[in-house]
Structure 1
Amino acid sequence: MNRKTTSDGTRRPLAPAPRTAAHGSAALGSAARVAAAVVTMALLIAGCTAPQSPATPEPTATQTASPETARPGTEPPGTPPAQAPPNPVPGSTIPVRPATPPAQAPAEPAPRFLTVEGTTINMPIVEVGVSPDGAMEIPEPFNEAGWYRFGPAPGAAAGTAVVAAHVDTTSDSAPFSQLKSLAPGTLVAVQREGAQPLTFRVTGVELMAKDAFDGASIFRRDGPPELKLVTCGGRWLDEQQDYGDNVIVTAVPA
């Protein structure tokens, strides 16, 4: 099968592979609810490639990283479901680790738009949660980013706000493919609902292997405030039908 080679490493095959539960639910790339008392968070992203073509999609209220999962943003943050999401499906290679649930809904306004200086990253942000297989959801449209709504929001006094999106489609790069090349000092602007926009400054870019993903450092609820932008990176692994790494950009209030 023909493959494309990009600056991101080896691109996935042009023909989309069958999507498993793990690939359909989360970040960063291929691609919910969560109980207020129990949150099971996967390493971060189970897949990295959006299934649609590069043409700009028309997001709807029910589009999510998984066709079977309604967007968590359609219910108020902190509303407990009937039960906690199940553990990842058997055979999943994404480790899970418990995450401390928030005491209450984030006090800061929800982020609604993201731009990154010197790039074409200029995209809306939607609220996402946890998919049934225990991974962070990722919006299906490749030009849309997801904010983990059960964690801190950008602008919170403490903890890490996590925003993730696909790295590519089956035929082209997505805006977040540019994360790997951001230089320290790059400015990131976040527009918020009913509040003043925020500006963050990039302090570093890290390539973290998915099989050694430190979820506790990413989904952090205390400590200095940070913004984490996450997508997939590294080489495309045919056997796993996924990228081998996550690209993680860390930014602090400017």
Structure 2
Amino acid sequence: MTTRTTPAGGYRRRPASRGAAAALVAGVLVLSGCGSAAPSTSGASSPAAATSSTASSDARPPQASAPSGAPPSSPAISSPGIAQPGDIPLRPATLSANPAAPAPISLTVAGTAIDMPVVPGGVSAGGAMEIPDVFDRAAWYRFGPAPGAAEGTAVIAGHIDTTSDRAPLSALKSLATGTIIRVGREGASALTYRVAGVELMAKDKFDGASLFRRSGPHELKLVTCGGKWLDERMDYSDNVIVTAVPA
């Protein structure tokens, strides 16, 4: 994904007492709290709000302001989530951004423990991408392209750790080029992608425009937190971003 990594207050942050030994969390977009997620306690999970930080209002030109009720095309991902707030260009989004592509419902990454449900994620009131409040499921940014779309990036994000252990998405940072990713879809056949690259993006330099791209070659982006745990921020320093292309 944190995504901020995700908007404000929706994610639990790692306790300061854990210090440098803190585990990791996944977050997409400006996802907040991609770390220290709670273990799943029921079959359904309530999505958490996106990260607590929001993009600077100065970065939104008047003509690019999203209409009331419409989510931004480039939410922030942060706080033990995914990315820190920054000047992220926004533009109006609609619920029917990619009507032809079925919604993703599962994510599996070969050679890892990543085998989890995927649920739709929106945008918090703070402008960050929402991700589930549990570590064993991820969120797809539903206002952007879906896996299998003709163009643009499909973004799936989640937590990197819990207060006591690492979550499955902690494996993202170590994926080798060529690793196979399978995305199950609602009412359609599963899609296969292969990893093209893995990068660390500093949260204070989060580039939402490139992550939440709606045009250009189709790619899948998997996002979570990474880098160093910063006690003064109660957040991770970076977002781990995996780029995958259709196999």
- Please, what TM-score do these two structures have when normalized by structure 1? 0.73
TM-superposed CA distance for 1:46, in Å, is 2.7
Q: 1:147 to 1:93 in 2, by over 3 A?
A: closer
TM-superposed CA distance for 1:83, in Å, is 3.5
CA RMSD of aligned residues (A): 2.9
* 1:97 partner letter: P
Distance 2:112 2:201 in 1: 22
State the structure with more CA Rg: 1
* Partner of residue 33, structure 2: 47
Distance 2:67 2:104 in 1: 23
Q: Aligned pairs, how many?
A: 207
Q: 1:105 to 1:84 in 2, by over 3 A?
A: closer
Partner of 2:129, secondary structure, is coil
Superposition pairs of residues 177-192 of structure 1, within 5 angstroms? 177-192=170-185
Runs of at least 4 residues off by over 6 Å: 85-88
Distance 1:190 1:234 in 2: 26
TM-superposed CA distance for 1:93, in Å, is 5.5
* 2:114 partner letter: I
Distance 1:224 1:195 in 2: 21
* Partner of residue 47, structure 2: 64
* 1:94 partner letter: P
Q: 1:155 to 1:141 in 2, by over 3 A?
A: same
* Partner of residue 94, structure 1: 85
Whether the 8 Å CA contact 2:49–2:123 is kept in 1: the answer is no
Q: 1:199 to 1:209 in 2, by over 3 A?
A: same
TM-superposed CA distance for 1:64, in Å, is 1.0
* Partner of residue 212, structure 1: 205
Distance 1:120 1:93 in 2: 27
* Partner of residue 154, structure 1: 147
2:220 is the alignment partner of 1:227: yes
Distance 2:71 2:143 in 1: 14
* 1:47 partner letter: G
- Structure 2: where are the runs of 5+ without partners? 1-15, 51-65, 77-82
Distance 1:215 1:245 in 2: 13
Distance 1:132 1:28 in 2: 20
* Partner of residue 8, structure 2: none
TM-superposed CA distance for 1:4, in Å, is 6.9
Whether the 8 Å CA contact 1:229–1:249 is kept in 2: the answer is yes
2:96 is the alignment partner of 1:104: yes
Distance 1:112 1:239 in 2: 36
Percentage identity across aligned positions? 58
* Partner of residue 3, structure 2: none
Q: 1:99 to 1:177 in 2, by over 3 A?
A: farther
- Structure 1: where are the runs of 5+ without partners? 14-26, 32-42, 68-79
Whether the 8 Å CA contact 2:30–2:84 is kept in 1: the answer is no
Whether the 8 Å CA contact 1:85–1:133 is kept in 2: the answer is no
Whether the 8 Å CA contact 1:48–1:231 is kept in 2: the answer is yes
